[in-house]
Structures are given as C-alpha cells and as structure tokens.
Copies of this chain bind each other. A is one copy, B any other.
C-alpha cells in the first residue's frame, strides 16, 4: 500500500502528541520518520515507529529531555543526551557540530546518554545539503560477534559519510555488519534469503538464512576481521569522547538505550575552491558509470544515487508501507 507523505507525517504527529511529545518536537520527529520511509529506508521509518512508542511507554525515551553541553574544548564538544528522543537529539547535535565547523573549519560533537537516532543518513543529508562534509557514527547494543568469537561483544555501529555534489548528496550509510538487524528482520519477514553471506547459523557455519542469524545474533562483520576491528574502534572513540556507555555497557541496560553518537562536520568552502571540488566529485561519479557492468545492462551506481528516484516516486504515488505496520500505527 502507498500512503501520501503528508498523511504519513500527520499520523505520526498525532500519535506522538497523544503520547505526550511537545508540538514542535512531534512535528520534527514525525517528519524524520516519514522522510526515512519516503527515501526508501523503511527499516528506520514507519517500521521502527512502533518501537519508538514502546520506548516512550517504557520510559527509556524521556520526551522532555534535550541535549546539554557538558564540556567544550575548541572545536570539540561533549553533550549529554539525557535519554531524550534519539532522532531529535541527533538532529540538534548535528547542528551544533556544523556551528563548530563554521567557526573552526571542522567541528566535532560527541553525544552520550542518548537513544537510537533512527535513520543515520538523515543528519548526513541535512549537512551535505548545506555544503558540509559529514562523518557520523553511533554505537549500538552488542549485536555483532568480535571476529573469532561467538557471543556478540561488539555493535554493528553504523557509520555515515555524506558529501555534497551537483547531482545530490553522495551518501553512505553502512552498519559494520554485512546486514543491519532491521534488514535481516525484513528478509526474515519476507521469507527471503540474504543476497550474500550475512552471519552464522546455530552450527557455527556461515549462512544466508536471515531467520537463523536473527536467532543466533551472530551477524557477519563486513570484511570479516576488518569490520569487526572497525566496529571496535568506532565504539571506543565515541564512548570515550562522549563520556557515555561503550557497547559492552549498553548491553547491561534493559533496552537499547544509553547510546553514543559522533558528529564530525567539515566546511567545504574554507579553501575558496568549492567549484573545483564539485568538478572533481562530478568527474569521479561520471567515471564510475563508464565501467563495464558486472550484470549486463545494470550500470554502476554511486551511494545515494537511487534515493532521489525513490523519493520522487514516493512523493508522486505515495510512500510505500507495510500494511500491517501502517494499520498498527493508525490504531494507536
């Protein structure tokens, strides 16, 4: 089923208001959810909305809390998220990092004690559309085994890179597991096999079976030991700089709360050659598309390229929804 974008925003907002969110905040949160689904990131749009409400009901999200500046040294600042809504906290801290970048060329905000930021790409897109380069990441609950071990000791810690281009935002939004749990869940729901190996089954064998991986919680890191190592580094950096919880510590709280996020922003206009920069980026994107396709007729795509098409389709025909989840939200 497809739902008009404005209707989707209105429904999310109505539910958030009902659960006690302040009007301006409910409006922003509703847009962030709807934008994710509109752009094709269903796992962190509508599909995740019911869990957001559950977290509010459970008291894991404090609706009234806002990020607070704890300490600052030059271009880097530590914020305490006070368990506020993760998407709103993240949006505010991304903005603070851009303000630091305005002053120092580069700005860094490390946010601790916050909640899931929903769609990571949201804050990268906002920054790149304003001309910043963004590097952002979050830690998560333990959901990824360290390479060589069985129990999940690491998080899949998604990282976002966003760079402006004349053809739209070049956007990479990648978890350190081959597939995020949202993705694994949606393959499981659809009864489909993953397109490449995604984790371990209960016998310790590498598998594409989404349901098995969901059961073992043993997702495969990208590049085996490399993604495992990268996940560790991202966690150590963000948790120590923010003064928040490490993945290990997040694992000790009942819900996936107490997360940390990193917001690195860099201005692209400080060296006075923004047009040359954009030329370079365009030339690279164009060059990638000249490669002989692996699958005949399927040209190479740069990350973020598909988003514009999905967005246009959503705005024209309505946003694609999972009927069951949409009806669940309508009934809230």
Residue A140 is within 8 A (CB to CB) of chain B in the complex: no
Segment at the B interface, from A38-46, A50-58, A266-274: A266-274
Contacts A76-B270, A149-B292, A178-B226 supplied; 10 other A-B pairs, CB < 8 Å: A74-B75, A75-B104, A76-B105, A76-B266, A147-B300, A163-B240, A170-B233, A174-B226, A223-B223, A241-B266
Q: Tell me which of B227, B239, B271, B300 contacts A223 (CB under 8 A).
A: B227
Q: Which 8 A-B pairs have the closest CB atoms?
A: A222-B223, A149-B291, A74-B104, A161-B233, A76-B105, A73-B270, A73-B105, A229-B303
A90 at the interface (CB under 8 A from B): no
Q: Considering the chains assembled together, what is the distance between the CA atoms of A298 and B302 in angstroms?
A: 39
Docked CA distance A290–B154 (Å): 12
Q: How many copies does the complex hold?
A: 2
Inter-chain contact B163/A233, CB cutoff 8 Å: yes
Q: Is A2 an interface residue (CB 8 A)?
A: no
Q: Is residue A151 within 8 Å, beta carbon to beta carbon, of the partner chain?
A: yes
- The answer to whether A148 touches B293 (Cβ under 8 A) is yes
How far, in whole Å, are A237 and B264 apart by their CA atoms in the complex? 12
Q: Is A321 an interface residue (CB 8 A)?
A: no
A125 on interface, CB distance cutoff 8 Å: no
Would B280 and A170 count as touching, CB distance under 8 A? no
The answer, yes or no, to whether A93 is at the interface (CB within 8 Å) is no
Inter-chain CA distance A235–B281, complex, in Å, is 9
Contacts of A170 in B (CB 8 A): 232-233, 236
Residue of B nearest to A241 (CB): B266
A25 contact set on B, CB distance < 8 A: none
Interface residues of A, count at CB 8 A: 80
Q: Is A248 an interface residue (CB 8 A)?
A: yes
Kindly provide the distance from the CB of A74 to the nearest chain B CB, expressed in whole angstroms: 3
Check: A71 CB closer than 8 A to any chain B CB. Answer: yes
Return A138 CB to nearest CB of chain B, in Å: 16
From the candidates B151, B225, B271, B303, name the one contacting A233 in the complex (CB within 8 A).
B303
Partner of A150, one of B235, B247, B294: B294
Interchain CB contact under 8 A, A291 and B233: no
B222 and A105 contacting across the interface, CB-CB below 8 Å: no
What are the interface flags for A107-139 relative to B under an 8 Å C-beta threshold, 1 for contact and 0 otherwise?
Answer: 010000000000000000000000001010000
- What are 22 A-to-B residue pairs whose CB atoms are below 8 Å? A73-B105, A73-B267, A74-B106, A76-B104, A133-B237, A133-B241, A146-B291, A148-B299, A149-B291, A153-B300, A161-B229, A163-B240, A172-B230, A229-B302, A236-B281, A240-B268, A241-B266, A241-B268, A243-B276, A246-B280, A246-B283, A246-B284
